[in-house]
Amino acid sequence: MVQMRVYDSKCTIWNEGNLPEGMDIESLKQHHISRPRNPIIADICFKAGYIDSWGRGTLKIIEECKNANLPEPEITTLDGGIFVTLYKKQEIVIKTELVDSKRSILKLIALNPTISKREMAEQIGINTTAIDKNLVKLKEENKIKRVGNNKTGFWEIVK
């Protein structure tokens, strides 16, 4: 099963199934051996010209994003499948070692500094209490600060 979601700032694709044993997400970002789940279908696609070789798909996607000045796609595992996020040009990718919810909050703030906690909760899919806890942690880590009051102020990412 494949699920695809299109948003204003990104496109996400989830494909059921895990990587072959011995392969991890990082190996998809460099030259790697292809181990198609269905070699018969892969062979037919190769012979029909739909693919030029096996094992280059992720490399070609990363290369095309780079050529288009787009952020590198995020590739993760999620709920028994592989989850890929492709961003539009205006998306700002925060490269930090943060948990997903904090990373998502930083991205939302980068796109819209006046975003409300309620809007963050809706877009990330967590409740406002969790948003509050993450905002407190981000402030403590000196990653964000609030400028002005809650009604007319805005969030600022600390460089």
Q: What is the pLDDT of residue 145?
A: 92
CA 35 to chain centre: 24
pLDDT of 59 > 80? The answer is yes
Q: What is the pLDDT of residue 54?
A: 66
Structure confidence by residue, pLDDT tens digits, 78-92: 888 889 999 887 544
pLDDT of 12 > 60? The answer is yes
pTM of the model: 0.49
100-157 maps to CATH 1.10.10.10? yes
The class that CATH gives domain 2-87 is: alpha beta
Domain boundaries, the chain: 2-87, 100-157
Where b means 16+ CB within 10 Å and e means fewer, 19-55 reads eeeeeeeeebeeebeeeeeeeeebeeeeeeeebeebe
Q: What is the pLDDT of residue 93?
A: 47
pLDDT of 157 > 60? The answer is yes
Q: What is the pLDDT of residue 96?
A: 43
